[in-house]
Structure formats: structure tokens, C-alpha cells
């Protein structure tokens, strides 16, 4: 194991959650919002084989859906707000949470693929 190698899969996972290289944790895996860099600028790990495909979107929808639906139902049962108010609250919340979570979940999925040695 090289000196910059992740000591465990949890270390690599949390590096991925921070959008950093899962092997060294020094450089970003991304050169844009969701566009991955060709390779790590520090340890030269190629990122192209770590293809996450649809998994980050799936996990984003899963997490945001549970938060929004449970929040909507709790608000409805406790306060009975008008429908326009539910829409005014939960549509922007859904958009903001999805846009915020997606790049971090993509990094986490790429780190898991790196740890599992799976081929993308």
C-alpha cells in the first residue's frame, strides 16, 4: 500500500463525499459541477474507470424523496396548510436538496467503486 493510499474504505468513502480523490484525498475528482477530471492531479489515479452512471441520481431521489414526503405529510397532519403553500415550500426544497446532494453522492459512489475494484 502506497503512503497516500486510503487506510480503509470508510476513509475513501468520506473522501469521496467531500468530492476528493478516494486514494489520496488531496485533489478534487471534479472539474465542474458533475464533470469528473481525467485523473487525480496529486496521485494520478485515473477517474474514468470510476463511472457512477445513474447511482448518484438514484440515491439523491431516494434521500430527498424520503425527506420531502415525510415533511409534507407531517406538515399536512399538524398544520393543514393550503395546497399552494405546500407547493411553495416543498418544490423549492426538493430542487435545492437535489442540486446540493447530487455532486457529493456522485463522489461517494465513485469512492465505493474505487474501493470495490469494480469496473465501471
Question: Which residues in this chain contact Zn ion in the complex, by CB under 5 A?
Answer: 21, 23-24, 40, 42-43, 45
Least distance in angstroms from the C-beta of 75 to Zn ion = 44
Nearer to Zn ion, 40 or 102 (CB): 40
What SS3 state is found at 6?
coil
Q: Residue 50, class by beta-carbon neighbours within 10 Å (0-12 exposed, 13-18 middle, 19+ buried)?
A: buried
CB nearer to Zn ion: give 19 or 23: 23
Minimum CB–partner distance for residue 61 and Zn ion (Å): 29
Residue number, 2 or 79, with CB nearest to Zn ion: 2
Taking a C-beta distance cutoff of 8 angstroms, is the pair 2, 8 a contact?
no
Q: How far is the CB of 20 from Zn ion (least distance, A)?
A: 8
* Span between the terminal Cα atoms of the chain, in Å: 23
Shortest CB 9 distance to Zn ion, Å = 16
User: Please, which residue, 51 or 72, has the CB nearer to Zn ion?
Assistant: 51
DSSP code per residue over 73-118: HHHHHHH---HHHHHHHHHHHHHHHHHHHHHHHHHHHHHHHHHHT-
Amino acid at each position: 500500500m502506497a503512503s497516500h493510499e486510503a487506510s480503509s474504505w470508510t476513509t475513501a468513502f468520506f473522501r469521496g463525499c467531500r468530492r476528493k480523490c478516494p486514494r489520496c484525498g488531496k485533489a478534487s475528482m471534479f472539474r465542474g459541477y458533475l464533470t469528473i477530471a481525467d485523473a487525480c492531479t496529486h496521485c494520478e489515479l485515473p477517474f474514468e474507470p470510476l463511472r457512477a452512471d445513474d447511482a448518484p441520481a438514484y440515491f439523491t431521489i431516494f434521500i430527498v424523496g424520503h425527506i420531502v414526503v415525510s415533511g409534507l405529510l407531517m406538515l399536512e397532519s399538524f398544520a393543514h396548510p393550503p395546497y399552494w403553500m405546500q407547493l411553495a415550500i416543498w418544490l423549492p426544497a426538493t430542487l435545492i436538496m437535489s442540486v446540493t446532494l447530487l455532486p457529493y453522492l456522485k463522489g461517494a459512489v465513485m469512492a465505493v467503486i474505487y474501493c470495490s475494484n469494480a469496473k465501471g
